Amino acid sequence: MTRRGAVLRYVVLFAGAIVFLFPFYYMVIGSLQKETDPTLAGAFPNPANLTLDNYVNVNERIDLVSGLVNSGIFTGGVLLGTVVFGVLAGYALAMLQWRGRNATFALALLVQVIPFQLLQIPLYVLIARDYGLSDTHLGMILPFLINSTAVIIFRQYFLQLPKELFEAARIDGAGELRLLWSVALPLVRPALVTAVLLTFIGPWNEFLWPFLITKDASMQPLAVSLANYISTVAASTDNPFGAILAGAVVLAAPVVVLFIVFQRYFVSSDLGSGVKG
């Protein structure tokens, strides 16, 4: 590539980065403004117009720390179930031979076309009335514990692994769980990261299901508390625009940090590196 082409490529990439990052930048700047300036000029405010009062106002009405802890419990439980059950089911669908395997995979694909909203009322009746799990974190987590998308992702990655590695390990006496832990998982790290990030966004931003399960404000995740705040309280503050953006920043920050930390793992693994020849 010529020097001019390289320069042009970096200019285009830089422009794309600016376009992508500007909404996040504007959200942060808007959350720090004393007086609302929704115009484009508000993206470059006077330093004297910047303050943390909007965050203080949000924290006075809802406990941000408690909301973050509840969101962490809810999301962490969903992630744990997604990874454990997704890996086990994906490995079974990809590497083991058993009757009904293809039909099970077809059902996993079929689940993708059913909106979760259609299932919320029967799930609520099942979990809150039959299981008695209302006002509990387990009641929030249970419907999301198995993610068919993660199962499909893991299955597709496991299918790419060289069969020779597993045959050699079986000759050495390794069982299926040892194969999964010592051979398969180290080679599908991108799948693990992808499943975690895709799954994290859903429960972290989910507000309707936790709101149905519990009305106890001390147990509600941050997304529920912020939704209640925005709909009932934010309009009465001195700076509703800034208060809403402050809540949005608090909710979005962990997702951005998680992506920045793990984005370097979004690389293709050399799946055939362990096979000679």
The CA angle 86-199-17, to the nearest 5 degrees, is: 135
Residue 76: what pLDDT? 92
Looking at per-residue pLDDT, the higher value among 61 and 12 belongs to 12
Read off the amino acid at residue 267: V
Please provide the size of the chain in residues.
277
Six-digit token string for 259: 């992506």
Number of neighbours of residue 43 by Cβ within 10 angstroms:
12
Q: Report the percent of the chain where pLDDT is more than 70.
A: 92
Q: What is the mean pLDDT of the chain?
A: 82
Residue 212: what pLDDT? 86
**Range in 15-24, 160-169, 202-211, 231-240 with the lowest mean pLDDT:** 231-240
Tokens 């993708």 -> residue = 112
| pLDDT > 60? residue 276 | no
CA–CA distance, 29 with 50 (Å, rounded to integer):
8
Looking at per-residue pLDDT, the higher value among 175 and 139 belongs to 139
Report the largest interatomic distance among the alpha carbons of the chain, rounded to a whole angstrom: 72
Q: What is the DSSP letter of 181?
A: I
Per-residue pLDDT tens digits for 176-220: 888 888 888 888 877 788 788 878 888 888 888 888 888 888 888
Residue 234 — pLDDT band, cuts 50, 70, 90? low
The phi and psi torsions of 123 (rounded to 5 degrees) equal: -65, -40
CATH topology of domain 66-224+252-265: MetI-like fold (1.10.3720)
| pLDDT > 90? residue 73 | yes
Domain ranges for the chain: 66-224+252-265
What is residue 2's three-state secondary structure? coil
CA–CA distance, 194 with 150 (Å, rounded to integer):
9
Residue 74: what pLDDT? 93
Give, in order, the Cα–Cα distances in Å from 16 to each of 7, 23, 151, 267. Answer: 14, 12, 33, 21
Tokens 């429960």 -> residue = 203
Residue 40: what pLDDT? 72
